[in-house]
Amino acid sequence: MRRLFNILLYGFLAICITASVGSGLVYFLLSASVPDYNEDFSVAGLGGPVDILRDASAIPHITASSAADVYFAIGFVHAQDRLGQLLRARRMAEASWPSDETLSVAPAVSDALESYAAGVNAWLELVSAGGRGRGSPELLIADERSIDA
């Protein structure tokens, strides 16, 4: 009876320790990759000041003096919140799009997409230079070769 009690006790302790270590690892991965939404950034490529205010649900509200700056800020915020999804979507699009085909769009759409991409790239530069983990939880545990920014 005593031996069964010891086995159950040590099994319970092993489960508790494993759960504690697992919880700590999950907390580290999530906290290391979530950006500080109250931080102020100075990035190149903007035509004027841009304010990105987040409400209690972390939903961004963007104000800027030009449409190009708004698209830049949208790209910046999307990369801040969903970098892993953006990189996966880009890889899927590259795999499915023939390399010899080009897409022609209206100049206004092209300018908006270029501003958006500049905002995404601005966040990638901040992640690379600022020691901000890898930008999102799934990228902290992903293989280095599978991330091409």
Average pLDDT over residues 32-41: 78
Stated as kind and residue range, the H or E segment containing 145 is: none
Higher pLDDT: 107 or 146? It is 107
Q: What does the pLDDT look like over 95-115, one tens digit per residue? A: 887 777 777 889 999 999 999
Instruction: For residue 73, name the pLDDT band (cuts at 50, 70, 90).
Output: very high
Q: Is 125 helix (H, G, I), strand (E, B) or coil?
A: helix
**Segment 26-35, tens digit of pLDDT:** 888 777 767 7
34-146 architecture in CATH?
A: Orthogonal Bundle (1.10)
Whole-angstrom distance, CA of residue 147 vs CA of residue 149: 6
Q: Which residues contact 127 (CB under 8 A, 6 or more apart)?
A: 83, 133, 134, 135
